[in-house]
Amino acid sequence: MSNAQKALVMAAGIFLAIALITIAVVMFISAQEATKNAQENFSGIQRELSDTSFTVYDGTIVSGSQVVNALRKFNQQKQFGILVITGRNKTTTTSGTTTKISGGTWYNGVVDEDTGVVSYDSTTSSTKPSNYSDLSEALKQDQKTYINPAGKFNASIIRDSSNVIHGLKFIQQ
């Protein structure tokens, strides 16, 4: 082979190598973007699945036995509280046409209902606030914290500003 032919073969080889490298880089970039999108979708699905155990209580009416079951189910969950307002420990305040229901007893933790911030967590703290009780007190009929299994409760979810669920609220009808 002459020098000119060798130079052409070498130039064609270099051109093919550059073309293959360019194709590999383009494929890597597009695969990286697809991976990022898949990871975001997976995170969304994972968040939805983790919230499904709470959606049962979002704006529904549940029985007292379901409230007790929720207390048992979420008993040791960190950064989470359950507020139960029964007929015995309910406080109502009327201001004009608005009636605010307050009082009740917290279980597992104490959460600010407006911000969703956990101020007491039974899994990490030892000093209990006055409006906190243990599950055993909810089962004693002579206590004001007693939860009647046949009672009906309006259930709602307490979220923080990031839409993370930090608590449940049950108000007896």
Going residue by residue through the chain (173 aa), what tens digit of pLDDT does each one get? Answer: 688 888 888 989 999 999 999 999 988 888 888 888 888 888 878 877 777 788 888 889 999 999 999 988 888 788 888 889 887 777 666 667 766 666 788 888 888 777 777 777 666 666 776 667 777 778 888 888 888 899 999 999 988 888 888 889 998 88
Helix, coil or strand: residue 109: strand
**Model-level pTM?**
0.66
70, burial (CB in 10 Å: exposed 0-12, middle 13-18, buried 19+): buried
For 44, residues 6+ apart whose C-beta sits below 8 A from its C-beta are: none
- CB of 147 closer than 8 Å to CB of 138: yes
Q: How many CB atoms lie within 10 A of CB 159?
A: 17
Q: End-to-end distance of the chain based on CA atoms, in angstroms?
A: 97
Domain ranges of the chain: 1-55, 57-172
d(CA 51, CA 81): 15
